[in-house]
Amino acid sequence: MRNRITAAVCALVLIGCGPGVTYLDESRQATGVKVGEVTSDSAIIWTRVTASAGRRADGTVIRGRPEKTEPGEEIVQLDPRDLQGSVPGAEGRVRVRYDDNVNFFDPVQTEWAGVGAESDFTHHIKLDGLKPSTVYYFEVETSSVDGTIIHKPVNGRFETAPPPNQYADVMFTAVTGQANRDHDAEDGFKIYKSMLDLTPKFIVPTGDTVYYDSDAPLATSIELARFHWHRMYSFPSLVRFHLSVPGYWEKDDHDSYHNDNWPGMSREYMGTFSWEQGLQVYAEQVPMSDLPYRTFRWGKGLQVWIVEGRDFRSPNSIADGPDKSIWGSQQKSWLMETLLASNADWKVLVSPTPIVGPDRSNKADNHANKAFQHEGDEFRGWAAANLPDNFFIVCGDRHWQYHSVHPGTGVQEFSSGPATDEHAGGTPGEDTEYHRFHRVAGGFVSVSATKTLSASTIAFRLHNVDGGVEYEWSKSKEL
């Protein structure tokens, strides 16, 4: 339904009305809005102009594990527009209005920016000059290319980080293993309501956010790879969550190309979809900084490191040794230098893959495996020597939850576990030398940093999919 906007309404909502301009009372942002990379003075808002207000409900249902062709077999390319959950994009324009007052008394407004098929109709809008420790309210507006049709805006909120010399209580969550084939609620995933109830300041999706190679349909083209993102982020539970919780995204193997991948890997059954296109799609679909590895400060109490485990790694299959790396020399140097330079009370490295483990003996793609033992030993030993009291690891990738302490160095790691109970499994079993807690089920991890007059405390909690706390561990330091 379309309504003509009156001059009074135009002035009220500041959408630049004029002769022949029509207001559409439905949004055209069916894949939601994501806020990312929030600092004390900046943020990035991501959106995508879509052809309709919601995901397709009546298309062909494809759910489960995909079949992979044998060498030489013809690959039949599906049209994602025919599939349930598809969200075709549309050419148009986007802009953002934002204010630190919910009534938008003195909003800042960005310029209109056009979107097209070359970027999957997405756009990233950088907001600068924000105030620290401040809740900002925003509305993302979209329109037709010529501006004659204005769509209903989408509204949300986010909070900026405090300055690095000030304390502020903070809690964030981390998730992994988010397969469409195993989603456990009509509106997506139970964990998103559970996490939203906790009102986290931010989330870190640690990777395997979608599964190109093991979640039907197999991503045999860049269009089908994009479909995986459209289907996932048009789930109502994810749309609601990200309108009030910003994120710092990481990628892993399944949402970059293929299981256990490294740069340039190719699999014939992935059709025309390539590893290089995987990098392109990821950069389109999430709001993030230019460098895939980065660190974010949340006041005096907490600093978080986000690392990249695919772009710079050596092939998994080569012999281990000092030149074999997951992080690459530049990222590894940056990681150690910034960890040492930080004066935050608590330092948390969020890794797409395990660093402590233990992992299954047949795996060969992370620091808990023998395939990368040299770099794993190097970093664990360095962390024990240089960060003995206030450094911790949160990891994704594994389909079970755990709290592990490395027996040789004492480095501690908390695994978030998969997004659903249906996705759990594959554990090597409980290891009393490593594990302080071990649970084969879905859920998420929350991390909080709080302060009283006399102490600063960090706490790690492993939650089930309904939000209940299955395990808790904390540490305090006197101030």
Q: How far apart are CA 208 and CA 314, in angstroms?
A: 20
Residue-wise pLDDT for 103-157, tens only, equals 999 999 999 999 999 999 999 999 999 999 999 999 999 999 999 999 999 999 9
For residue 20, name the pLDDT band (cuts at 50, 70, 90).
confident
Q: Is 6 within a domain?
A: yes
CB-CB contact of 291 with 284 (8 Å) = no
Q: Is 378 within a domain?
A: yes
Q: Are strands 412-416 and 391-395 parallel, antiparallel or unpaired?
A: parallel
CB-CB contact of 233 with 246 (8 Å) = no
143 and 21 part of one domain: yes
Q: How far apart are CA 425 and CA 443, in angstroms?
A: 13
289 and 189 part of one domain: yes
The whole-number pLDDT of residue 2 equals 27
Q: Is 232 within a domain?
A: yes
275 and 127 part of one domain: no
Domain count, the chain: 2
Give the CATH number of the domain where residue 252 resides.
3.60.21.70
The whole-number pLDDT of residue 60 equals 95
324 and 465 part of one domain: yes
Question: How large is the average pLDDT for residues 353-376?
Answer: 97
Q: How far apart are CA 187 and CA 54, in angstroms?
A: 12
Residue-wise pLDDT for 108-122, tens only, equals 999 999 999 999 999
For residue 8, name the pLDDT band (cuts at 50, 70, 90).
very low
- Tokens standing for residue 122: 């997405």
Q: Is 164 within a domain?
A: no
CB-CB contact of 191 with 175 (8 Å) = yes
The whole-number pLDDT of residue 9 equals 39
Q: Is 259 within a domain?
A: yes
Residue-wise pLDDT for 372-431, tens only, equals 999 999 999 999 999 999 999 999 999 999 999 999 999 999 999 999 999 999 999 999
The whole-number pLDDT of residue 17 equals 53
Residue-wise pLDDT for 188-210, tens only, equals 999 999 999 999 999 999 999 99
Residue-wise pLDDT for 35-89, tens only, equals 999 999 999 999 999 999 999 999 999 999 999 999 989 999 999 999 999 999 9
Question: How large is the average pLDDT for residues 221-235?
Answer: 98
The whole-number pLDDT of residue 18 equals 56
At which residue do the structure tokens 């996705």 appear? 423
Q: Domain end: 104, 131, 159, which one?
A: 159
Q: pLDDT at residue 11 above 90?
A: no
Q: Is 450 within a domain?
A: yes
444 and 307 part of one domain: yes
Coil, strand or helix at 255: coil
- Tokens standing for residue 75: 């690959």
Q: pLDDT at residue 3 above 50?
A: no
185 and 291 part of one domain: yes
Residue-wise pLDDT for 243-286, tens only, equals 999 999 999 999 999 999 999 999 999 999 999 999 999 999 99
Q: How far apart are CA 60 and CA 368, in angstroms?
A: 40
137 and 254 part of one domain: no
150 and 182 part of one domain: no
Q: Domain end: 140, 159, 178, which one?
A: 159
Residue 174's φ and ψ, nearest 5 degrees, are -140, 145
Q: Is 66 within a domain?
A: no
121 and 179 part of one domain: no
- What helix, strand, coil percent values describe the chain, rounded to 5? 20, 30, 55
Average pLDDT, the chain: 95
> Does residue 164 have a cis peptide bond before it, meaning omega lies within 30 degrees of 0?
no
Q: pLDDT at residue 1 above 70?
A: no
CB-CB contact of 379 with 405 (8 Å) = no
Q: pLDDT at residue 10 above 70?
A: no
Q: Domain end: 100, 128, 159, which one?
A: 159
Give the CATH number of the domain where residue 41 resides.
2.60.40.380
131 and 265 part of one domain: no
Q: Is 74 within a domain?
A: no
322 and 188 part of one domain: yes
Residue numbers of the domain that contains 355: 170-478
The whole-number pLDDT of residue 19 equals 65
Q: pLDDT at residue 12 above 70?
A: no
For residue 450, name the pLDDT band (cuts at 50, 70, 90).
very high
Q: pLDDT at residue 13 above 60?
A: no
At which residue do the structure tokens 């939000």 appear? 467
Instruction: List, in sequence order, every beta strand (DSSP E) within 367-430.
Output: 391-395, 401-405, 412-416
Instruction: List, in sequence order, every beta strand (DSSP E) within 37-194.
Output: 43-48, 92-99, 108-109, 113-115, 122-127, 135-143, 149-151, 154-159, 170-175
Q: How far apart are CA 40 and CA 57, in angstroms?
A: 40
152 and 187 part of one domain: no
The alpha-helical segments, DSSP class H, found in 131-218 are 190-197
